[in-house]
Amino acid sequence: MVKEQLIERGIKDRRVLDVFGRVEREKFVPPDKQEYAYEDSPLYIGWGQTISQPYIVALMTELLSLKGGEKVLEIGTGSGYQSAILSHLGCVVYTVERIPQLAKKAEEILSLLGYRVKVKIGDGTLGWEEFAPYDRIIITAASSSVSLPLIKQLKIGGKIVLPLGERLHQELTVIDKVSSTRVEKKAICGCIFVPLIGKYGYKR
């Protein structure tokens, strides 16, 4: 179901398409939402957060231009679904979630399903310096700018994919770090995400 929908929406990366047939989205949503797991829509997962619709997860994953083996930092663990997708694609995944209940639940599910993902509870706008630098960074919450700590923790030649803009409307954006002092931005499409809360993000 999901694979066909993604092809219709323009996802072309064969590895990305294949992984959506292998990672079971219903494992990452609450029991009362499992019947809707394969609809192309976001679903509420508690604590004011959602699991993104499959198309957006696929698009953000495709925009990372992964080959396999990359070290990826995810900001906003949520349900753990995006982490599972990245791990299944052969990435070494580090993920930061500010809401302890979500972080612990995602860590349990990921471990139960055999994904070796490192999960941290904390302020995602600060990144995770201990394991930097990263080949890719994916931010799954809206920000009006990219924090300096995240830029610093990205390798030269690396990419950040995130929803960039105002609280009520953003552009899905790819940022390429072309040197230690310069980045290039490319807006892809409009989107709406929950806000990224933190020192360098939105305030509550």
> Distance between CA atoms of 162 and 131, rounded to whole angstroms?
20
Q: Reply yes or no on whether 41 is catalytic.
A: no
Catalytic residue among 41, 52, 87, 143: 52
Question: In 13-99, which residue ranges form alpha helices assigned H by DSSP?
Answer: 14-19, 54-63, 81-88
- Go through 15-28 and write b for each residue having 16 or more CB atoms within 10 A of its CB, e for each that does not: ebbebbeebebebb
From 99, 93, 6, 113, select the one nearest 45 (Cα to Cα): 99
Q: What backbone phi and psi angles, to 5 degrees, belong to 20?
A: -70, -15
How are beta strands 183-191 and 169-177 bridged, if at all? antiparallel
> Distance between CA atoms of 65 and 28, rounded to whole angstroms?
24
- For the annotated catalytic residues, the residue numbers are 52
